[in-house]
Chains A and B, each alone.
Chain A
C-alpha cells in the first residue's frame, strides 16, 4: 500500500519568511495530492491540492509542486503570517484502495 513521509516534523519561521514542507510517496499509481491545515482544536481543512498531471499550482501565498518521477511533492508558503501557525498534513490518494494516506504532519510556528 501507499506510504507517505513528511518532513520536517516541526518548522519555526519568522513572520514574513517562507516555509517549505516536503512529502514523498511510494506508490506511483497515486494521482491526487491534497494538503490539509489543522489549527488547534479545529477540523482539517483543504488548503491546496494537485493532480498528478500537473507540476505546479499556486493560490495566493501558497503553492504546491509535484515531481512524479521522484515521487515527491512540496508545500510552499510565502510571506508567512502568525495565522499560518498550524499542523499541516500532506496526503496521497490511493485510487485502487479509494483512500487518502496522510503524512505524519508538520507543526508550523510563525513567530512575530
Chain B
C-alpha cells in the first residue's frame, strides 16, 4: 500500500477562520512533508518531520502551524490566512533511511484551499 490520504479534498475559508488539514499514511514512513503548490508550478516545501519532530521549516509564516501527533499522522493548522495562500497543499511521506539511498516520496492527492 503506497497510499497517503489527505482530508479534506477541498476547503474554502475566510481570513479570520481557523481550520486544519490532515494527512495519514500507514507505510511505516518516518518522514512526512507539507508542500504548497500553485497551478503549473512545482511543489514548494514548507515543513519536514523526521521521527515526529520538526526538522525543516522553510521560513513559513506562523499562520501555518504543523503538528505530527504520531508516526502516521500529520496536521497543518491554518489561522488568519491571506488570499495569496490559496493553493493545493500536498502531504508526502518517505522512509528516512531508504534502501540504496533513495528518498522516494509518496504524495497525497492534496487539499485545494481557497481563502476568501
Interface of chain A, main secondary structure: strand
Also in contact, A87 and B104, with CB within 8 A (given A42-B109, A98-B55): no
Q: Interface segment, B39-47, B68-76, B79-87?
A: B39-47
The answer to the question of A63 belonging to the interface, with a C-beta cut-off of 8 Å to chain B, is no
- Smallest Cβ distance from B68 to chain A, in angstroms? 15
Also in contact, A51 and B107, with CB within 8 A (given A99-B56, A102-B43): no
- Contact call A46/B108, Cβ cutoff below 8 A: no
The answer to the question of B114 belonging to the interface, with a C-beta cut-off of 8 Å to chain A, is no
- Contact call B56/A100, Cβ cutoff below 8 A: no
Report, as a range, how many residues of chain A touch the other chain.
20 to 34
- Contact call B101/A98, Cβ cutoff below 8 A: no
Report, as a range, how many residues of chain B touch the other chain.
20 to 34
- Contact call B45/A98, Cβ cutoff below 8 A: no
- Smallest Cβ distance from A11 to chain B, in angstroms? 14
Q: Interface segment, A13-21, A68-76, A77-85, A103-111?
A: A103-111
- Contact call B48/A98, Cβ cutoff below 8 A: yes
Those of A3-27 within 8 Å (CB) of chain B: none
Which chain A residues border B108 with CB–CB below 8 Å? 43
- Contact call A97/B56, Cβ cutoff below 8 A: yes
Which chain B residues border A100 with CB–CB below 8 Å? 45, 103, 105
Which residues of A does B touch, CB under 8 Å? Answer: 31-32, 34, 36, 42-46, 49, 51, 87, 89, 93, 95, 97-100, 102-105, 107
Offer 11 A-B interface pairs, CB within 8 angstroms, sorted by A.
A32-B103, A44-B90, A44-B107, A49-B104, A51-B100, A98-B55, A100-B45, A104-B41, A104-B42, A105-B40, A105-B42
